[in-house]
Structure 1
Amino acid sequence: MASLWFSLTTLAVAVSLVSTGASIPNNEDECHLTPIKVPVILDESTVRLQSPEFTAGDSSEPGVMCGIECQRKLPEPRPAELERLLSYETIYENGTRIFTKIKLEGVTELRNTSSSVVCKTGQLKRRKRQVYGMDGRFVITDKHFTTNYPFSASVKLSTGCSGILVSPRHVLTSAHCVHNGQNYLKGTKRLRVGIMKLRSKRRGGRQRGGRRGEKRRESEAGNERDVATEVQVREHRRKRKNRFRRETDSDQTRQPALRWTRVKQTQVPTGWMRRAGEEVSADYDYALLELKRPHKMKFMELGVVPVVKDIPAGRIHFSGFDNDQLGKVVYRFCSVLEESNDLMYQYCDAQKGSSGAGVYVRLRDQAGKGKWKRKVIGVFSGHQWVDVDGIQKDYNVAVRITPSKYAQICHWIHGDASQCALA
């Protein structure tokens, strides 16, 4: 009974945190997001490449990374280098692969970008603190929450990673979930995406040629029934069968399950592709998947937050399919401890399988007076060893969506630069 009460309590707290935010006195009510102008990405040329062999095994996260201070001191890439990094590969369901070179217009350095988070003056900004009184994962077991927004926007990849729905047809995830920096993973050839939906328990039906076939044979043998009586019997059975289905198809028997959809195409930035003698860069550990069929679930919009610590408590959220909780959505939130232009360092509890989850923030819309708005501002990459003053420290790292990355992902989704002018 005690364990049941604890489970119900933690679930109630998690739902309260996600849905209302009222139980966390962090002044998020006083802050809101403002639009940021982003550059324009145009496809300049395309080249057809040799079809990949899909030989790579499961990709792990990159090894020891350039330290936090090192990341901060890295110069902004020049426009030509940024265009190279944001050029991309597209691989289709039939194995066809093309390379697209892009042209970037209106580049703005992230360091010169004003914050997109505006808070009322006089509000205290809490920095460098973890979640108040609670730091852990919440396993969402209630089927109504699992299959409703925002948890329903989290999806599972057949390669074992997580992802986030960002349009009726598109899923944002980590690049290492489909490509190890040199080759595409074996599972990418027939990549599928699982979306949590309520599914009824189906009862086994009669096999063809069963009792009805026997009756037919008996009739043919001369043991015929009165036609009117037979019609009445069949009608009675039909009504009973329909009533039985309605009863067994009630809410109590409907359980959440992953409904799988094939991926039509996958797009990965060149910045993730490993050059000879170089390591992969976690800065570009993201990819976009286009589904073969559109889903009917509510998706989460993209956003840009140059400095997460501008948000009170610097709080981020994400949900995924951790391997130690098979078939269940796991939600967590925590504060960002450190951040560079491209990465966010934190200690959100996570297990393997959560990589690729969409990292989002929650703020008010309409100058802080509207509804709560969730914006995907990054992709959870996973555990990393970071070199800090010659000492290796471990963090959980998320890739930030910068204005240039936003323009690229938005271009992948819409194919129209006019729809991607503001984040």
Structure 2
Amino acid sequence: MTVAPAAGGRACVLMAGVIHVPRDPFAEGAGALEAWDDGAVAVAADGRIDDVGDASKVRSRHPDRPVVDRRGSIVLPGFVDAHIHYPQVGVIGAFGLPLLRWLDERTFPFEARFLDLAFAEREARTFLRLLAANGTTSALVFGAHVASAMEAFFAAAEASGLRVASGLVVADHGMPAALCTTRERAYAEAATLAERWHGRGRLRYAVSPRFAVTCGDGVLAACGALARERPELLVTSHLNESRAEIATVRAAFPGDRDYLAVYERHGLVGPHSVFAHDVHPSDDELARLAAAGAAVAHCPTSNAFLGSGAFPYARHRRAGVRVALGSDVGAGTSPALLHEALQAYLTQAGLGPEGEPLTTAHLLWLLTRAGADAIGLGDEVGDLRPGRAADLVLIEPPPGSALAAVLEHAEGPDAVLGACLALAREGAVAETWVHGAVVHRRSDAGMVA
């Protein structure tokens, strides 16, 4: 992985097919998508986009810029993953278990291995490499339960050049004893990490209670105290993922009217909060999430893999709840957000009249701008308008691939984008740029005929 210079990469005009969604397609329909078959993105020396559009016009406006000719490729905004687990790559593909058994039998034991610092360092490098290789340029990452592992992760994230928000995950029961903590220790370790890493380069800190199943009031109070003292921090956890989980929370917190109320009571629900899943919300919870300005990370592959249920997208939209997309590795089966977007489409289509009809414009919005808005980067990334940071993904079909065959017949941006959503995965990501600098390059990138 190439380390991105702090000030960005070299100034250039990047020529390729260009597709982005600068406006909300849920509000504006198909007109929200902008595309140029023979397009270009002009990137300034500070790593920001200063022009986008038809290639001949962009080149004429920047005649002295070096040209990077990648015609035959497709440029998209960098993908934004609103929920992915750093210490779970090794449990991808653990079949046959519902959520709570999957955690107890497969996931918690693997996460305990992050007590070994050398192991945690290797996993951090692998995890970040996989993000970049799959076109993810920004991510809200659910971290490890071990402070030393999180120090290692933040150091690796800083070196990667990616935009990463993460934090020490805390819990006080229902897990291996070595991963549990106390109220005092949870606050002290998280506060130290936040002080050291939040706002350092492209890094931010996220207050991260595991979920109400494994967090008592003491640990939740520690999280709430830090969130109140540092209101610029993100907050992330899990919510309403499975019916068994909801029943467990109800039994543990009989004085709270529902799952969301547990977090509300500790001051953890607000405009900087992102909750993963929310597959089984009440109407009242949806109304309160919307009123608080909180966002939900929709993780369709994970929900299907664990049999948790189908996300009620239409109910969230009608309630006014912001929704982004999360891969949720390792219950999610891939860090490829293009795969996750396809699963979101399939999930909603399978719901019939109760589903939310999703077009290619909706799916690209979820991959990019919706995620940026959810994790507090909506003014910085998410589309290719001038002034945005040049966080880009170059899709180039591998020679002889199904994607290459389909793109030969694709006419118009909807067909091109549909082919990418259906078929482009890690092998089709030729380059990933963050702030104008390359953070991932496939060995044969730029060799498309």
TM-score tier by shorter-chain length is under 0.3
Higher RCO structure (Cα 8 Å, ≥6 apart): 1
Give the greater-gyration-radius structure (CA).
1
Q: Which of the two has greater strand per residue?
A: 1
